[in-house]
């Protein structure tokens, strides 16, 4: 799996039903686990505890694959093992603890790793989507510092707020979004991370203007979301950049106007972008890979004085930035979850999908069952 993870965005993992007759006992189910950096992922039997106060136990139906999962499997940013993998998916409410309102058993839900309490200082502002009351977590534990999962008596850690590559998970209710039960499962799975991040970055972070030009680095689900978002917000030139020639067709399906394969030219990417923009560069660059050299290319690809670069991908915790590229007036901004507020903004993206303004089925490459993970 690890050797192919970069090309697996869009794979659907089918998590078939495991039925339970009670909501107050530990459930034993299957999940995909990383035991350490460089070790192969394994399907293990996992014990999932019942939910505590303000928590929900979800039976997962479908999960998708994100490149971030590879980073977690290799111990980034915190080497917490064994880690039950996955942070994108869709499932149904199996049970819930005290204090949970607005949900009932059987509701279709998607997990998010960004919460929105709607009462703290940041949730009440438009400056950030990072909730203070329910903060972003990397340590693989619930908000009380404990885990609801174990493997043969050993504590198991999740990815962000959940572990979607498991047939059951427990999550704080503030990280769940209820959606229409008629939603196609693959579409719902993509909403909880990849596509939404890219789309949100054009909308909430860059605030792409009508008539503008855009360059998107990396055409996975995040990049395709950025292409669709830029086009939806009026960009007239949308340049997609990827060294996989098969991504050209996908990019055009979401609104890309020009495609650059860096391996087909001796010029730098920044030079190729400027060739397509009368030597000026683009108004906005969206860097979706985290590959260190591409970050500087994304900076150099934008216009002097006014260029905006939104950084979403991560490959390494520390990178070298050419500061001269920023001193000439460009702005580099990091983005988590595309700047989206989960409960406020995801339903807006969802409604566009429901109305077929966005066709998420274009993201799906193939499907496998959980027990067939070794075939990745």
Q: What are the per-10-residue average pLDDT scores of the chain (376 residues)?
A: 36 55 79 93 96 96 87 86 94 95 95 93 93 92 94 94 94 94 87 92 97 97 96 98 96 97 97 98 97 96 98 89 95 96 92 88 82 67
Same domain flag for 180 and 216: no
Residues 307 and 265 in one domain: yes
Same domain for 164 and 258: no
CATH number, domain at 332? 3.40.50.720
Q: Verify that 29 and 165 share a domain, yes or no.
A: yes
- Residue 11 is predicted with a pLDDT of 55
Dihedral of alpha carbons 329, 230, 361, 56, sign: positive
pLDDT given for residue 275 in this prediction: 98
End-to-end CA distance of the chain: 5
Structural domain harbouring 139: 7-188+341-375
Q: Identify the DSSP state of 236.
A: S
Distances from the Cα of 85 to the Cα of 5, 25, 74, 293, 345, angstroms:
13, 23, 11, 28, 26
Is residue 312, in this structure, part of any structural domain at all? yes
Distance CA 335, CA 284 (A): 14
Judgement on whether residues 140 and 14 belong to the same structural domain of the protein:
yes
As a whole number of angstroms, the distance between CA 145 and CA 45 comes to: 23
Q: Is residue 2 part of a domain?
A: no
Query: What pLDDT is stored for residue 187 in this prediction?
Result: 85
pLDDT for the residue 9: 45
Are residues 179 and 73 located together in one domain of the fold? yes
Question: Looking at the chain, how many residues does it have?
Answer: 376
CA distance 243 to 217: 10
Question: Is 273 inside a domain boundary?
Answer: yes
Does residue 54 belong to any structural domain of this protein? yes
Q: Is 291 part of any domain?
A: yes
Tell whether 120 and 226 lie within a shared domain: no
Domains in the chain, number:
2
pTM score above 0.75: yes
Residues 310 and 351 in one domain: no
DSSP string, 155-199: E-EEBTTB-TTBSEEEEEGGGEEE--TTS-HHHHHHHTTHHHHHH
CA dihedral 223, 228, 232, 237 (to 10 degrees): 70
Q: What is the pLDDT of residue 23?
A: 61
**Chain centre to alpha carbon of residue 194:** 3
Report the SS3 class of residue 113: coil
């Amino acid at each position: 799996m690890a050797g192919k993870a970069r090309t697996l965005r869009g794979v659907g993992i089918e998590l078939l039903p495991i039925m339970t007759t009670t909501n107050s006992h530990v459930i034993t189910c299957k999940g995909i686990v990383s035991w350490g950096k460089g070790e192969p992922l394994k399907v293990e039997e996992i014990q999932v505890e019942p939910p505590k106060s303000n928590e929900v136990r979800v039976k997962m139906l479908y999960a998708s694959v994100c490149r971030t999962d590879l980073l977690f499997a290799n111990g980034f940013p915190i080497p917490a093992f064994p880690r039950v993998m996955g942070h994108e998916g869709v499932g149904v409410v199996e049970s819930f603890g005290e204090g949970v309102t607005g949900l009932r058993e059987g509701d279709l839900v998607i997990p998010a790793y960004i919460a929105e309490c709607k009462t703290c200082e940041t949730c009440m502002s438009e400056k950030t989507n990072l909730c203070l009351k329910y903060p972003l977590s990397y340590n693989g534990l619930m908000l009380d510092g404990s885990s609801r999962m174990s493997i043969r008596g050993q504590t198991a850690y999740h990815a962000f707020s959940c572990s979607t590559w498991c047939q059951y998970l427990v999550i704080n209710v503030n990280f769940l979004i209820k959606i229409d039960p008629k939603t196609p499962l693959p579409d719902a799975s993509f909403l909880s991370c990849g596509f939404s991040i890219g789309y949100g970055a054009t909308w909430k972070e860059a605030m792409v203007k009508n008539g503008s030009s855009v360059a998107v680095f990396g055409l996975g689900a995040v990049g395709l979301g950025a292409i669709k978002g830029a086009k939806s917000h009026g960009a007239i030139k949308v340049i997609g950049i990827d060294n996989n020639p098969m991504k050209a067709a996908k990019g055009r399906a979401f609104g890309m106007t020009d495609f650059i394969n860096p391996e087909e030219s001796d010029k730098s990417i920044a030079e190729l972008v400027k060739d397509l923009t009368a030597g000026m560069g683009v108004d906005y660059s969206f860097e979706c890979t985290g590959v260190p050299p591409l970050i500087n290319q994304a900076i150099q690809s934008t216009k002097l004085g006014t260029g905006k670069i939104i950084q979403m991908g991560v490959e390494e915790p520390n990178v070298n930035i050419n500061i001269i590229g920023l001193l000439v007036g460009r702005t580099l901004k990091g983005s988590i979850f595309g700047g989206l507020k989960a409960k406020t903004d995801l339903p807006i993206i969802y409604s566009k999908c429901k109305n077929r303004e966005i066709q998420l089925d274009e993201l799906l490459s193939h499907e496998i069952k959980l027990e067939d993970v070794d075939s990745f």
